[in-house]
Amino acid sequence: MPEFGFICAIKFLLWLSCTCIHKFLGIIFDRKLRLHYLKSKCTKALNVLRFVAHSSWGADQQSLSHLYSSLISCKVDYGCIVCGSARGSYLQMLDFIQNNTLCLCLDAFRTSPFSSLCVLANEPPLYTWRRMLSFQYSVKLSEWS
Task: Quickly list H helices, 19-87.
Answer: 36-52, 61-68, 74-78, 80-83
Name which residue leads in pLDDT, 10 or 57: 57
How open is the CA angle 95-59-50, to the nearest 5 degrees? 45
pLDDT of residue 1: 46
| Global pTM value | 0.75
Domain positions in the chain are 34-144
Confirm if 113 and 95 have CB atoms less than 8 A apart: no
Predicted pLDDT of residue 11: 58
Structural contact between residues 98 and 129, judged by C-beta atoms closer than 8 angstroms: no
With a cut of 90, say whether residue 36 has pLDDT above it.
no
In this predicted structure, which of 25-29, 48-52, 119-123 has the lowest mean pLDDT? 25-29
More confident residue, 15 or 42: 42
Instruction: Decide if pLDDT at 110 tops 70.
Output: yes
Predicted confidence (pLDDT) per residue in 72-109, tens digit: 988 888 877 777 777 888 888 888 999 999 999 888 88
Task: State how far the Cα of 126 lies from the Cα of 132, in Å rounded to an integer.
Answer: 10
Cα separation of 99 and 41, whole Å?
16
